[in-house]
Amino acid sequence: MIRLNKILNQHKLLLLSLSAIGIIAAPSQASAFTLVNRDSLTDTQFNDLLLTKEYTETFVAESRMGNNGSGGNGERELGINSPWLPNANGKLVGGDPVARGDRTWTSGTPVDFMLEYNGSVVDYTVDGKLLTTTAFTGAATDIFLRTFAQKNNGSTSNITSTLTNLVLNGKGVGKSLSSAGTGISSDVDYLQISNITSPFKLTGQSIFSWTGAAPQRSNLAYQIKVASGATSVPEPSTVAALVVASGIIVGAKRKKPSF
């Protein structure tokens, strides 16, 4: 009986300590997201992150010029795509649209977008047009935003892809992203938002700009790449809480039973 009471008392101490620091009393609050400097990241380097499995894509939402809403030829302007994943031959495969839509872009006009993911449903809304899918259930720890611009026509100039006014879960991201292409080179830019969890809601505005003939296909585009990191580091507060709790148990074990 004395032994049983001792064990019960130890369990009570553990529960009380965990409750006091908020581990059991309420669900843990998601920590604030962090921005990772990816100013110099290239597509090749990003693909290497996937090939080495440092990050694994969960899904990708995208907007692109396509054929600017004229239809036909299998082109699309909006999509929710399957992830790019490494195969046995060390190549990335995937990127197929599971939801798609059309729209007509106007140069220089801001377009509202919203991406929501709750762990089982993806909703991607562009200027009021909703794409949705339940094809993905993977983890979400990071968002890689990508803009791309490349001149593809001799009569096209001043081509830019911009993401601005970004807000994640009601908090401003505090940084915009923009790529400017030329006739001889492309421009790609990345911004990584780390330390996120699902559900999440990302909103913002995209701006496609050009002078002359409209660009085509993916020569003007942006992607929202939702991914999970290979490792998840516990928050310092959680580690401290576990240390405190374990210390309480050790202290309780060292006490001699009272008769």
For the segment 223-231, the average pLDDT, to the nearest whole number, is 92
Neighbour tally for 113: CB within 10 Å: 21
Under 8 Å between Cβ of 76 and 69: no
Task: Determine the pLDDT at residue 231.
Answer: 63
In angstroms, rounded to a whole number, what is the distance separating the alpha carbons of residues 100 and 220? 17
Q: How far is CA 127 from CA 169, 205, 208, in A?
A: 19, 9, 14
Q: Which CATH class is domain 31-230?
A: mainly beta
Task: Determine the pLDDT at residue 32.
Answer: 85
Span 132-179, pLDDT tens digits: 999 999 999 999 999 999 977 666 788 999 999 999 999 999 999 999
Neighbour tally for 184: CB within 10 Å: 7
Q: Is 180 helix (H, G, I), strand (E, B) or coil?
A: strand
Distance of CA 233 to the CA centre of its chain: 17
For the segment 173-191, the average pLDDT, to the nearest whole number, is 90
Task: Determine the pLDDT at residue 28.
Answer: 40
Neighbour tally for 188: CB within 10 Å: 18
Percentage of residues of the chain with pLDDT beyond 70: 73
Q: Between 168 and 256, whose confidence is greater?
A: 168
Which residue's structure tokens are 């401003």? Answer: 172
Under 8 Å between Cβ of 161 and 169: no
Under the banding of pLDDT at 50, 70 and 90, the label for residue 9 is low
Does 236 have pLDDT greater than 80? no
Task: Determine the pLDDT at residue 183.
Answer: 67
